Structure 1
């Protein structure tokens, strides 16, 4: 079965969060920065402003530029919300930054009417929950999906169904378009009259590796042809399992809050069991409408997957929180995870 890989990329992530949270920033050129630009919104990019540029240089290009200080904790929280949404779709996900990741959707795409439909639903759902836009690319591997997500930014999507479609798109682009071809390598290639991706097709793999080395030669040969065997790496050890819900309309009723917490617990617990894990720590997270955030956790000395024990821990944490204000977000997660089989092997060694 041919793989179907999706890459999502949040649009001007840090800047978009700041514009969402502060109306006065909207329609203005803004950057999120310390001394150096971390993210520029699309209004600022029109002036030639980009990340890694000093704020002094950015101000020269746009004197009316608004500089917003970096709030990494806020962006991390937003990233967790997005990643939790992704994990509801599939666990075959690789998060490569706070604002982007790959999904292997080969096994689930049949549940949707088309790849286009899946991409549309994904982007719509992200926007409904976070108020942020993202761009999506769907391809036959990580390479084609990554390049596809950049074609219709911001807020759009593009799909490569096969290598032929990718080659037709990429061959007339500058060689710098290929991932792994930086400014210095581009200069080397230009000196050898390689300016476009199309110029690579004149050379065999043997010729390219002989001239540029094995790694660079193989990269040029395979990437120009849409060949990429890298897997979506979702095998990293799991540090926590959980789920969060952000409410478009904040909730304030005790009954509703209790029901939502129980639903989150059940969803997280089912994932714990499905992954055959034990846990020592339960975490309850509450964010109120005014963005005050409370996190409570309880840890036991012996890992368990006993539902009654874990539910008792959750009830104890819930009772320690005063729900006097409207609730915007709730989250329940398990930490200090341990593989059940590893635990069993440890016991077996004692006998």
Structure 2
């Protein structure tokens, strides 16, 4: 467990600041520190080859997610690197989300370790939003043994910013009367959609704070970062965000991603990574009785730019073979760009999901008989469910990088 000290701002927000953003601190690393007392208060990185997560003690030395292990060790000479244990992280995530669900029926999970909660109308039975957030933090700490930071604000955007500013292991509430006073001094990197490339573009114009973005005219901002990004950033810089917390909505996609570091990868190596991602995603789809039509690959290039490529299948499926074939075609289509820029992250998701359980009412496609490939998928799932995900693997991946794929949402 992280040794960071809780930092709580107790000023009660007025008005309708009823949205909570709850974000587990250094999730994977915190689970490792919780489960192994020898790791507590020590700089810990989860991964092997590439850092998947770093404890706060490691972050203080400059260790960051997606950094190569060698670079991380240069930043932190006494860094302890441990292998990822995804089953343990999934179990911890389920326990935390159970606490979320007991707090309010309006919970919108956005990743394996964070969620938005809407606590409007709960004052009489549970207390103020700050009191609810404090109680949630205590419960996660006591019942799950993990540190969590909660931001409280009037909008989803500002609640997420507040949780980021409040880390580690804190609670930060933003008074509706002082929203822009809180937001505008922050660096532009706090705005959704501002990565290294956009931040550099803005910095070249002398724009470094959110307030400076807000003072720009929308046309000027669009000329710098593009029409779509410009309009979005202009709204967020003024805390204009009308989105509601969408509780009870099943995920629209299931995905996984793997950081690759800055070392150049051959196309054969990228196909091996893709193979593991497809296995992971399709197994999760079958476990949750979902099928999907749209396959999307996500790339992060060495120059920090990002790109996606998508293709839709003729009908929804959770079978490994057709999703793998489509994914391979998308990866091959990106070969030239990968050669030019290098790739530091590869992600896969399957969207346009439908339920395929016995009661889902989905019309089956001919032939009704289960194919050999689908039978093989079922047999492999059964082995992994009984003996663990590492009990059986594809021959093509033996002797290569470990499976460091990161699930984008908890099962």
Q: Is the 8 A contact 2:17 2:129 kept in 1?
A: no
Match of 2:33? 19
Aligned match for 1:194, one of 186, 193, 207: 207
Equivalent-residue separation in structure 1 for 2:357 and 2:106 (angstroms):
21
Aligned match for 2:197, one of 179, 184, 195: 184
Pair 42,202 (structure 1): closer, same or farther in 2 beyond 3 Å = closer
Higher relative contact order (CA 8 A, sep 6+): 2
Equivalent-residue separation in structure 1 for 2:220 and 2:124 (angstroms):
42
Equivalent-residue separation in structure 2 for 1:86 and 1:119 (angstroms):
10
The correspondence of residues 105-144 of structure 1 with structure 2, limited to 5 A, is 105-144=119-158
Deviation, structure 1 residue 15: 1.0
Offset from partner CA, 1:303-349 (integer Å, 9 cap, x none): xxxxxxxxxxxxxxxxxxxxxxxxxxxxxxxx95858xx89xxxxxx
Equivalent-residue separation in structure 2 for 1:137 and 1:182 (angstroms):
22
Q: Is the 8 A contact 2:20 2:153 kept in 1?
A: yes
What secondary structure is seen at the aligned counterpart in 2 of 1:150?
helix
Aligned match for 2:109, one of 70, 88, 95: 95
Q: Is the 8 A contact 1:36 1:54 kept in 2?
A: yes
The correspondence of residues 306-325 of structure 1 with structure 2, limited to 5 A, is none
Match of 1:49? 63
Aligned match for 1:82, one of 79, 84, 96: 96
Deviation, structure 1 residue 211: 4.9
Pair 127,337 (structure 1): closer, same or farther in 2 beyond 3 Å = farther
What secondary structure is seen at the aligned counterpart in 2 of 1:6?
strand
Pair 152,203 (structure 1): closer, same or farther in 2 beyond 3 Å = closer
Aligned match for 2:244, one of 231, 242, 248: 231
* Larger radius of gyration between Structure 1 and Structure 2: 1
Between 11-20 and 229-238, the greater mean CA deviation after superposition: 229-238
Match of 1:155? 169
Pair 337,148 (structure 1): closer, same or farther in 2 beyond 3 Å = farther
Aligned match for 2:47, one of 17, 33, 49: 33
Pair 206,133 (structure 1): closer, same or farther in 2 beyond 3 Å = same
The correspondence of residues 260-275 of structure 1 with structure 2, limited to 5 A, is none
Return 5+ residue gaps in structure 1 as ranges.
Answer: 240-279, 281-334, 344-351
Q: Is the 8 A contact 1:151 1:157 kept in 2?
A: no
RMSD, matched Cα: 2.5
Match of 1:145? 159
Q: TM-score, normalised by structure 2?
A: 0.56
Q: Kindly indicate whether residue 198 of structure 2 is the aligned counterpart of residue 203 of structure 1.
A: no
Equivalent-residue separation in structure 2 for 1:155 and 1:166 (angstroms):
22
Pair 212,43 (structure 1): closer, same or farther in 2 beyond 3 Å = closer
Pair 60,227 (structure 1): closer, same or farther in 2 beyond 3 Å = same
Q: TM-score, normalised by structure 1?
A: 0.65
Pair 338,6 (structure 1): closer, same or farther in 2 beyond 3 Å = farther
What secondary structure is seen at the aligned counterpart in 2 of 1:88?
helix
Deviation, structure 1 residue 111: 2.5
Deviation, structure 1 residue 212: 3.7
Deviation, structure 1 residue 107: 2.8
Deviation, structure 1 residue 148: 0.7
Return 5+ residue gaps in structure 2 as ranges.
Answer: 1-14, 253-288, 290-355, 363-411
Offset from partner CA, 1:267-320 (integer Å, 9 cap, x none): xxxxxxxxxxxxx9xxxxxxxxxxxxxxxxxxxxxxxxxxxxxxxxxxxxxxxx
Deviation, structure 1 residue 161: 2.9
Q: Is the 8 A contact 1:238 1:337 kept in 2?
A: no
Equivalent-residue separation in structure 1 for 2:174 and 2:21 (angstroms):
12
